Amino acid sequence: MKILREDLKKTDFSDITTGEGMRPLHPGVFLREIIEEFALSQARLADMVGVSPMRISHVMNGTRSITAELALKFGELFGQTPEYWL
């Protein structure tokens, strides 16, 4: 499939550039990707950051938010800013 330059001029990209109409992703989505990349289990990650495996599970499933404390721990562990997680 080819995308022609003239077709791009007719396409509305406003929702992509502004983020309007896009639902924010829960941080658990990013956490799942990262632990898969590092081949970590939920239990191992929980041990590394000092929380229960159940808490990690809840975050990954989107039923619990990430606290500022957990954002600090994830940021330090994965080399990111805490704001990335909040």
Residue-level pLDDT at 17: 64
- The token pair at 79 is 């080399």
**What are the mean pLDDT values of the chain's consecutive 10-residue runs (86 residues total)?**
78 71 82 93 96 96 93 93 90
Query: 60 with 32: CB under 8 angstroms?
Result: yes
State how far the Cα of 60 lies from the Cα of 25, in Å rounded to an integer.
Answer: 11
Residue-level pLDDT at 1: 64
Residue-level pLDDT at 19: 64
Q: Model pTM? A: 0.70
Q: Which CATH class is domain 25-85?
A: mainly alpha
